Each structure stands twice: as structure tokens, then as C-alpha cells.
Structure 1
Amino acid sequence: MILLSTGIALLLIQAPRLDEELLEAARKGDLPAVQALVGKGANIEAQSRYGQTPLFFAARNGHAPVVRFLLGKGAKTDVKDSFYKMSLLSAAADRGGVDVVAALLDAGANGSDALGIAVYRGNKEIVELILRKAKPPADELSSALQAAEQAKQPEIAAMLKAAGAKPPRKPEAVVAAEKLALLVGTYKGDPVGEFTVQLKEGKLFGMTQGQSFELGAFDETTFGLVQAPQVTLKFNVEGGKATKLTLDQRGAQFTLVRVEEK
């Protein structure tokens, strides 16, 4: 009985260490180490403080052999970074490369912001892969087209149009000044930080990190950046004022809560 209890205690001590080593090995792309650690019982769904798993680290850093091994072991693909709110497929589209994105798509991974990130990076191969295998919905295609045109990526824009992309609607709705006034205030939330909404000469502006952006209205509570309508802000209005807003940037959503003035 004593030996059994000692063995269980030893396993409980070893498990977190094995998981940490697996996360680090996956981050580095060390396939033999990953295989050995999984063989010793390391948890393939172990998470960092921000929710990244071994598969997430391997995909983000472009380690295709490790990605394929972990997928073969049944690693989950519906993983999202809790800090940047980035999906597994989006992380791969950002930095992981074509082979990694292809492996994840074949395994059924999805991420609403992945196409926009691939467009932003100007990666035609990954854009083509996502269009062919993921079949993004119309709203994602439209947002991606807007991004491609702003980034002066005519070849990617043509690919998106061939897939059915239409120019997104413009934020041109007319909202009364008293309705706009309900939204004015300062909002905070990670990782954006502080975001201030101001009303100037009947127009709404957002300010963050020393930059100011004019906001155009889709309706009384939904706005887009005039220069980049695919970046939207959805305000939640309660009791005669906005209490929070949701910032949507290429599918990555961030919630910011209104800070009460003292």
C-alpha cells in the first residue's frame, strides 16, 4: 500500500513537469522529444497560461511534422489563445506556413479570422487553401476583399471575387446626435487597453494609443472604421448609456467595458 501511494504521488509530481516539457518541445519543433514525452504520458491538451496547447505552439511556429504527429494523436483543433483571441488556424495562417495550414484544414480546423490574416500577410497560397478547403461564408469573403483592396493585393482580390466575394456594405447610416452621445466614454479591456469614444461636430471618433479613427454607422449601435469598415464596434446600451463594446477585427473579438467617470 505504501509503495502504491508513493507511486501515485510521484506521478502527480511528474505530470505537470512532463506537460511543461511537452509545451516547450512543441514550441521548438523537437519532434523526437514530443514523441517521447507523449509516450511517457504527457497531456497533449496541456495549456499555457493563455490557453495555448502543444498543437497551437507547433502550428504557430510552423513545425509541420509536430503538427501532423499531434493531430494523429487526436489533438483538438478548436483551440483559441485567450490573450489575443486568435484561433489555432489563424495562428497558423499568420506565421505557420502552407504545410501547417493544409494539415489543420484537413483535420477540420476552422477560424473566422484566418482568411483575413492570410490576406493581410499577402500569402496567396494560404488564401487559396482556405478558399478551397474551408469555403468561407459571404461576410468573411467580403471583409477579406476589403482588406485585399486596401493592402493593394490585386491578385488576392481577384481570387476572392472569383470565390464570390462582394464589396462589403459601407457604414453610412444616419444616426441622431442624441443617440451618438449615449456611446461617448472610455472603455477598457485586454489586450486593447483603453479606447475612448468622442463626439465631434456630429461625428463619432474612436481613440486608442494616440490614434484617432472616424466611426461610421451601420445602425444605432454598430459602427465601422470609415477607412476600414471590416473593423467593427458593437455597443451594448443599457439604462440610457453604453455599458460595453465589442471590437471585431477580422473575426477576432475583444470586449471592452465602459469606465465610469469619477
Structure 2
Amino acid sequence: MSDDIHHEAWRDRVAPDLLDAVRQGDVPEVLRWLDDGRPANWQDSEGCSLVFLAVYHRQWAVIDSLLARGASVDLPDRRGWTPLFWAAFNGHADIVSFLIGRGANPDVRTEDEEWPLFWAVFKGHTSVVRHLLLGGAKRDQLDGDGHDVLWLARTLGRQDIVAILEGPRARRTNRPLPENSDGTI
């Protein structure tokens, strides 16, 4: 997987001027295109939306403008990745925080049953894990083999993430505390 978006795929169905406006954060120009009939949820042949492109370029005002015009913050691409999923996978905590603040679903799953918190734990993106949990991501989702993210963090030796997942907030959710080898908690 890559931290890149295939911009050449965008050129098949949309004016390059609109794409440039999104990349450059030119809100008035983006809104002009929407007023001229371009749908806020437009996607290219790979399923990348205008919101996805704006997220990639960290154009916060463009994202807010698109959302105000009815664009979905959770519109997936052909792989089933939403902008939040992409940001979590690539370790962009600032984007994760921004998107959750705009209503992105932290527990969205792809057809392959992948989800943002799983990939953040797998890749060791500690700050992304924190933002996802603060945004309401469920710790108890299971992968196809019946494992949760705490198991994954322990297995990969990601002690900082284990501490986060076992922290005080985990105890408030009535998760049983792990027993020591002598049976005590």
C-alpha cells in the first residue's frame, strides 16, 4: 500500500481545473464547479472522491465546503478505503483527528474485513490509535481469526499501544483485566 493517490486516474472524468482547485485549497473555485453541476460526491475511476483528494492535500476548508454541500466523509474508494482509513493506515494523526471531528466512522470496514484501528495498531501508529479511540473506535472488533487489536498489539510487541488499549478507559468499559500467572489481577 502507498501513501500516494494516483492523480492520473482523476483526469478521466473531471476538469483538471477542479482538481487543481481542490489541491490548492481554492474554496471559491471548488464551489463554482459544484454550482455548475459537479456532484459533491464525485469519484474517479478508482473511486477516489473530491473529499479524498482534499484530505490527501490537507485542504481543510475545501473538505468542510464539500461536506457542507452534501459530500460524504465516509465515501469509500474501490478498495473500500475511506479517507479516514487511508489516514490511519499511513499514520496521519492530524487527518484522523480532523475527519473524526467531521463525523467519520472510526469503525468502517472494507470487504476484506479490515478497519482503521487494526491497521494503526499493526503499523505501530500510536498517536493514530489514540485519536481513533478518542473518536469512539471499538476496541473489541475481531478479525477473521477471532483476534482483537489488543491481541495484535501484544503479538507485535507494541507495548506503548498495549498500554493505551489496557489504560483506564478500557477498565471503564468493563473489560476484564488480564490475570497474572499466579491468578491475581
TM range (shorter): 0.5 to 0.7
**C-alpha separation in 2, matches of 1:140 and 1:22:** 40
Distance 1:51 1:134, change over 3 A: same
Which residue number in structure 2 is paired with residue 99 of structure 1? 94
Q: Matches of residues 1-262 of structure 1 in structure 2 within 5 Å?
A: 16-18=13-15, 21-23=17-19, 25-26=21-22, 29-32=23-26, 35-41=28-34, 42-59=38-55, 61-65=56-60, 66-82=62-78, 84-95=79-90, 97-110=92-105, 111-112=108-109, 113-136=115-138, 138-140=140-142, 143-162=148-167, 163-164=169-170
Unaligned runs of 5+ residues in structure 2 are 1-12, 110-114, 178-185
Counterpart residue type for residue 152 of structure 2: A
Count the aligned residue pairs. 146
- Report how far residue 58 of structure 1 moved: 2.6
Structure 2 residue matching 1:92: 3-state secondary structure:
helix
Task: Percent identity, please.
Answer: 25
CA contact (8 A) 1:23 1:53 kept: no
TM-score normalized with structure 1 length: 0.48
CA contact (8 A) 2:24 2:59 kept: no
CA contact (8 A) 2:91 2:128 kept: no
Which residue number in structure 2 is paired with residue 229 of structure 1? none
TM-score normalized with structure 2 length: 0.65
Unaligned runs of 5+ residues in structure 1 are 1-15, 168-262
**C-alpha separation in 2, matches of 1:67 and 1:17:** 18
CA contact (8 A) 1:120 1:147 kept: yes
Q: Which moved more, 1:63-72 or 1:151-160?
A: 63-72
**C-alpha separation in 1, matches of 2:68 and 2:94:** 15
Higher strand share: 1
RMSD: 2.9
Counterpart residue type for residue 40 of structure 2: I
